[in-house]
């Protein structure tokens, strides 16, 4: 038996008291109050209530090694990304890999694989597969239901997946960007219980009024904390924190602990904040995560104070997994798994013959995964529509990685590249290759770098090429997370040297193919209008 002492933060009873916690075989066997205070605090570990681990470019084990340093002990993890590539095989891979480290993963059954019928994906998960998954003890919930038109229009397959979750008594995650009024009510009435896609505070309040839980998100691309954090004061039982998608450089800097600190600095009640960060996810998703009660698993963190929240120790199942900023979980090289069938491209594959004077352009919005849609005059040379870096008019392309198909090509504004190109095989949600470039030749070079490595992230110019290989499913590295973060930072810096002005260029790039998010996106099938939910022509 071991014990640990400090000022114990009891979220359930909303009190803080000096005491000693007794642990035996990873379980809390006793909690005794003491008379004198300590210079440290013990509280439940943080939980990320919605995350796609694959977006960290790390395996679950690699993700855990970074997260525990920041006091995170558990995640609610939707393996939607790898499922779009490898189906059930990919989900099993994530569960197997995560089981090898002292960390609590609750994986869901991805509800939308493919995310929509408008993309080229590597797999399809139907009702029968969802039912099989949900009956498993290692699957905790139905992943985010992105196909909200299917929900409100009564699509039999969509509703069948939701009913399968209800039959198993497992929660259903939502994905309802901008939904209001009657459409939102229809979406909620089928049993969808959460949302992490609220753009504004009134939208979020309307969802709360219908009984939905709001996951306040702060990821690498989509950042909603400042907009939504006031909900914590008014609705502490209905809020949680999540990152959704966090790239490795962000994960090195911090995790849920950063949201806790920001909320407390804004003057939000400490115990309400900790309810969102620790208690609510455990209760809603029925996680097997300890909350500092007798007979609970010994999952907890030790911090120096209740303002800066410096993590002194992270403890999972009674084992110290991180201490004073150093992870105690060793790195092991994961086994490979992938599918990548694209072949080398030529610059002419990315050319666009002129058809009219006006073209539709995807407009990037910094800090958001929604995009705008604008119409501009088409710059033309020798009968072909070309890039115009002076007007920040760049080509964007999606290349099918599952079969050898011609690229789809459109135009985007907001990356501000003055030369060169960037590319990635992380492209939500089908994870084909996506690239933005200042010319056809550069676009082609960046894409071919990814094809050569069978997955990765690349930056190219006339005098430079750099690639971060992602050999696991084309979206994850087999290297240590700190090494991946360092290389990723270097790629971001190189992209900025080419002129890119975005805070997170590759994270933003990864969402330019996500057609279920309005307004205008590009998939492997073509340019897509996310408001009308139909394909649209590049030329007006």
**278 and 368 assigned to the same domain:** no
Q: Which pLDDT belongs to residue 389?
A: 97
Q: What's the whole-number mean pLDDT along residues 101-112?
A: 97
pLDDT value at residue 170: 98
For the residues of 147-195, what is the DSSP string, one character each? -HHHHHTT-HHHHHHHHHHHHTT--EEE--TT--HHHHHHHHHTT--EE
- The answer to the question of residue 32 being in a domain is no
Over the stretch 52-71, which tens digit does the pLDDT of each residue have?
Answer: 999 999 999 999 999 999 99
Range of the domain at 432: 347-535
pLDDT 10s digits, 197-237: 998 999 999 999 999 999 999 986 678 999 999 999 999 99
Give residue 122's pLDDT.
Answer: 87
Query: Which of 240, 262, 287 is a domain's end point?
Result: 287
Alpha-carbon gap, residue 165 to 129, rounded angstroms: 12
Could you give the percent of the chain with pLDDT greater than 90?
90
**Same structural domain for residues 249 and 397?**
no
pLDDT at 277 over 80: yes
Q: 516 falls in which pLDDT band (50, 70, 90)?
A: confident
- Is pLDDT of 39 > 80? yes
Domain edge (last residue) among 238, 255, 287? 287
**Does residue 540 sit within a domain?**
no
- Sign of the CA dihedral running 85, 88, 89, 93: positive
Q: 357 and 241, same structural domain?
A: no
Q: Is residue 19 part of a domain?
A: no
Contacts of 249 (CB under 8 A, 6+ apart): 485, 488, 489, 492
Average pLDDT of the chain is: 95
Do 83 and 218 belong to one domain? yes
Is residue 7 in some structural domain? Answer: no
For the cut 90, the answer to whether the pLDDT of residue 531 exceeds it is no
Model pLDDT for residues 399-408, shown as the tens digit of each residue: 999 999 999 9
Query: Are residues 128 and 276 part of one domain?
Result: yes
User: Global pTM?
Assistant: 0.92
Largest CA distance in the chain: 84
Q: Which of 202, 138, 203 is nearest to 174 (CA)?
A: 203
Residue 532: pLDDT band (50, 70, 90) is: confident
Same domain? 244 vs 393: no
| Mean pLDDT across 444-461 | 98
**Total domains in the fold of the chain:** 2
Phi/psi at 70 (5° precision): -100, 10
Region 241-248: mean pLDDT is: 92
Tell me, yes or no, whether 9 lies in a domain: no
Average pLDDT over residues 139-143: 98
Assess contact for 78 and 110: CB atoms under 8 A: yes
pLDDT reading at 115 higher than 90: no
For position 450, what pLDDT does the model report?
A: 98
- Given this model, what pLDDT does residue 429 score? 86
Phi, psi of 492 (to 5 degrees): -60, -45
Regarding whether 527 and 415 lie in a shared domain, the answer is yes
Tell me the per-residue pLDDT of 330-389, one tens digit each, with 9 for 90 and over. Answer: 998 999 999 999 999 999 999 999 999 999 999 999 878 889 999 999 999 999 999 999
Tell how strand 534-535 and strand 526-529 pair up. Answer: antiparallel
What share of the chain has pLDDT > 70, as a percent? Answer: 99
Question: Among candidates 232, 287, 321, 298, which has minimal Cα distance to 48?
Answer: 287
Is 116 part of any domain?
yes
Distance, first Cα to last Cα, the chain: 72
Residues 269 and 394 both lie in one domain: no
The predicted pLDDT at position 199 comes to: 84
CATH number of 170's domain: 3.20.20.140
Res 322: pLDDT: 98
pLDDT for residue 488: 96
399 lies in some domain = yes
Q: Token pair of 49, please?
A: 């209530």
Structure-block tokens of residue 439: 């010319």
Tell whether 528 is covered by a domain.
yes
Whether the Cβ atoms of residue 533 and residue 526 lie closer than 8 Å to each other:
no
- Rama region for 367: left / alpha / beta (φ>0; ψ in -120 to 50; rest): left
Beta-ladder partners of 149: none
**Mean pLDDT within 28-39:** 95
Q: Which of 287, 304, 323 finishes a domain?
A: 287
């Amino acid at each position: 038996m071991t014990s640990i002492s400090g000022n114990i933060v009891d979220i359930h009873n909303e009190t803080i008291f000096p005491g000693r916690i007794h642990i035996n075989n990873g379980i809390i066997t006793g909690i005794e109050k003491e008379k004198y205070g300590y210079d440290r605090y013990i509280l439940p570990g943080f939980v990320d209530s919605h995350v796609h681990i694959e977006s960290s470019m790390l395996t679950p084990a690699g993700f855990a090694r970074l997260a525990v340093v920041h006091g995170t002990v558990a995640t609610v993890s939707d393996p939607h990304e790898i499922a779009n590539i490898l189906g059930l095989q990919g989900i099993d891979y994530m569960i197997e890999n995560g089981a090898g480290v002292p960390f609590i993963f609750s994986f869901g059954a991805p509800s939308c694989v493919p995310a929509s019928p408008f993309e080229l994906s590597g797999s399809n998960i139907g009702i029968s597969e969802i039912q099989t998954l949900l009956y498993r003890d290692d699957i905790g919930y139905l992943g985010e239901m992105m196909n909200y038109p299917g929900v409100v229009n009564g699509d039999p397959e969509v509703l069948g997946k939701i009913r399968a979750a209800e039959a198993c008594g497992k929660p259903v995650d939502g994905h309802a960007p901008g939904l209001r009024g009657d459409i939102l009510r229809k979406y909620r009435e089928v049993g969808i219980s959460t949302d992490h896609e609220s753009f504004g505070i009134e939208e979020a309040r309307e969802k709360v009024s219908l009984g939905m839980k709001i996951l306040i998100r702060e990821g690498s691309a989509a950042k909603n904390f400042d907009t939504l954090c006031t909900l914590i004061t008014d609705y502490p039982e209905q809020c949680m924190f999540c990152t959704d998608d966090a790239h490795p450089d962000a994960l090195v800097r911090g995790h849920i602990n950063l949201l806790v600190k920001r909320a407390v600095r804004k003057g939000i009640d400490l115990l309400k904040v900790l309810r969102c960060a620790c208690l609510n996810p455990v209760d809603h998703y029925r996680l097997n995560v300890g909350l500092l009660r007798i007979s609970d698993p010994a999952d907890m963190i030790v911090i120096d104070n209740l303002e800066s929240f410096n993590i002194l120790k992270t403890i999972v199942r009674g084992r110290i997994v991180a201490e004073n900023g150093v992870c105690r979980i060793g790195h092991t090289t994961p086994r490979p798994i992938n599918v990548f069938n694209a072949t080398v491209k030529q610059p002419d594959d990315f050319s666009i013959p002129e058809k009219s004077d006006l073209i539709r352009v995807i407009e990037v919005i910094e800090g958001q995964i929604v995009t705008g849609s604008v119409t501009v005059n088409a710059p033309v040379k020798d009968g072909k529509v070309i890039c115009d870096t002076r007007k920040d008019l760049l080509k964007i392309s999606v290349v099918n990685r599952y079969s050898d198909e011609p690229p789809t090509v459109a135009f985007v504004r907001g990356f501000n590249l003055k030369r060169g190109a960037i590319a990635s095989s992380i492209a939500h949600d089908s994870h084909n290759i996506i690239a933005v470039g200042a010319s056809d030749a550069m676009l082609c070079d960046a894409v071919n770098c990814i094809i050569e490595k069978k997955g990765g992230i690349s930056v190219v110019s006339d005098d430079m090429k750099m690639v971060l290989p992602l050999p696991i499913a084309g979206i994850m590295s087999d290297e240590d997370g700190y090494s991946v973060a360092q290389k990723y930072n270097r790629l971001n810096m190189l992209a900025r040297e080419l002129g890119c002005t975005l805070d997170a260029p590759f994270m933003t790039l990864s969402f330019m193919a996500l057609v279920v998010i309005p307004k205008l996106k590009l998939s492997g099938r073509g340019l897509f209008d996310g408001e009308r939910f139909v394909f649209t022509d590049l030329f007006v």
